[in-house]
Amino acid sequence: MAHTSIYLNFMGNAEEAFNHYKKVFKTEFSAPIMRLGDIPPHPQMPPLSEADKKKVMHVALPILGGTEIMATDMLESMGQKLIEGNNITISLNPDTRSEADRLFKELSQGGNDGIAPHDEFWGYWGTCKDRFGIRWMFNITNQPEK
């Protein structure tokens, strides 16, 4: 079912923050924490240091009223820098690829910093910043085979 999440960026302390939020909201992670070291090798991606491999690629935690917060650690080694404005993304999880494509097309008009939805190892994913400076993510997670 389609839903919306709030995606947060951290500079290396996503796991610490989410363990705190887990205690505050008295909930459990939606799935095990994925580490940057879990990413399959890719020819265009430089190798990660052992420290960076331990950082959080993805974590998700339900909070209140069906809302879920998600997060990743940004990598200073890759030139990523956390500043106010790039630490929060609204993550849209539509039911279909065509709906993800439609949302991307409409939200990215007049904006910048976009990556059109495409296949990744975990699912169908893309992102953009709209003309008002709001960051949006589009994600359809691969469903396990039954």
Instruction: Tell me the domains of the chain and their CATH numbers.
Output: 3-141 (3.10.180.10)
CA distance linking residue 53 with residue 23, whole number of Å: 25
User: For residue 60, what pLDDT band results from cuts at 50, 70 and 90?
Assistant: very high
- Does 26 score more than 70 pLDDT? yes
Residue 2 confidence (pLDDT) = 82
- Closest by alpha carbon to 77, among 95, 53, 111, 97? 53
Q: Which of 11-20, 79-88, 110-119 has the lowest mean pLDDT?
A: 79-88
Indicate the DSSP class of residue 15. Answer: H
pLDDT recorded at residue 139:
93
pTM higher than 0.95: no
More confident residue, 118 or 76: 118
What is the pLDDT, as a whole number, of residue 44?
84
Mean pLDDT, the chain, as a whole number?
88
d(CA 129, CA 138): 12
Strands (E), the chain: 3-10, 34-35, 56-62, 68-73, 88-93, 112-119, 123-129, 135-141
